[in-house]
Structure formats: C-alpha cells, structure tokens
Amino acid sequence: MAKTCKLCGKRRSLSARGYCDECSSRLNQNATAQMRAKSGPIYERWKTNRLKALQKEVDAEKPLPEYPETQQPREPELPDLPEYPEENGKHRIN
Ligand SMILES: [Zn+2]
C-alpha cells in the first residue's frame, strides 16, 4: 500500500505516526502551542487522558492499608510448645 502523509497526502518518508517530517513538525508546534495556551483539541485530549490516569492512581490507592505504617506488624503466633513430661521431681532442689 502506498504510504502517504495523513495530513498533506504527499508521498514522503513518514514518521511512525504517518506524517511527513514537515507535517509532524507543524503538528508538534501546534501541540506545543495548544499546551501553552491550555486550549484546543490536543490540550483537551491531554487533559482528559491525564485526568483518567490520575483517577486510576486515586482508585489504586483504595482500599486503605489495614494497619497504619506506624503500627508494628503483629508477631506471627508461635506454635504451642509440647509440655515436658513430669520427671518425678528429679530436678527438685528441696
Ligand atoms: Zn505531510
């Protein structure tokens, strides 16, 4: 299939996104201008994506950890030791 620039339609060597060098640099300038002006479709899309990403981060923080960081983790419970059999007072001093 013929590779033509998505913007100007000319056959040139295209960037990965399908624009020629000329158009992609113009798009970059346009995008930069929109970001600086905080308006325009590129800025709006960036903002939407950024908000979505932030929302995902916020969601990922839930649920809150069960123990606050300052609280020591509980020691694992030790298994019960076997009871030593009575030795008929063998070790009694009295
Ligand atoms: Zn072009």
| Main-chain phi, psi angles of 20, to 5 degrees | -75, 170
Enumerate residues 6+ apart whose C-beta is below 8 A from 20.
5, 7, 8, 10, 12, 13, 14
- Tell how far the Cα of 30 is from the centroid of ligand 1, in angstroms: 14
- Tell how far the Cα of 35 is from the centroid of ligand 1, in angstroms: 22
- Tell how far the Cα of 34 is from the centroid of ligand 1, in angstroms: 20
pLDDT per residue as tens digits for the range 3-61: 899 999 998 888 888 999 999 999 999 999 999 999 999 999 999 999 999 999 988 88
- Tell how far the Cα of 24 is from the centroid of ligand 1, in angstroms: 7
Q: What is the pTM (predicted TM-score) of this model? A: 0.49
Tell me the C-alpha to C-alpha distance, in Å, between residue 50 and each of 28, 38, 45, 78, 83.
19, 13, 8, 49, 63
- Tell how far the Cα of 42 is from the centroid of ligand 1, in angstroms: 18
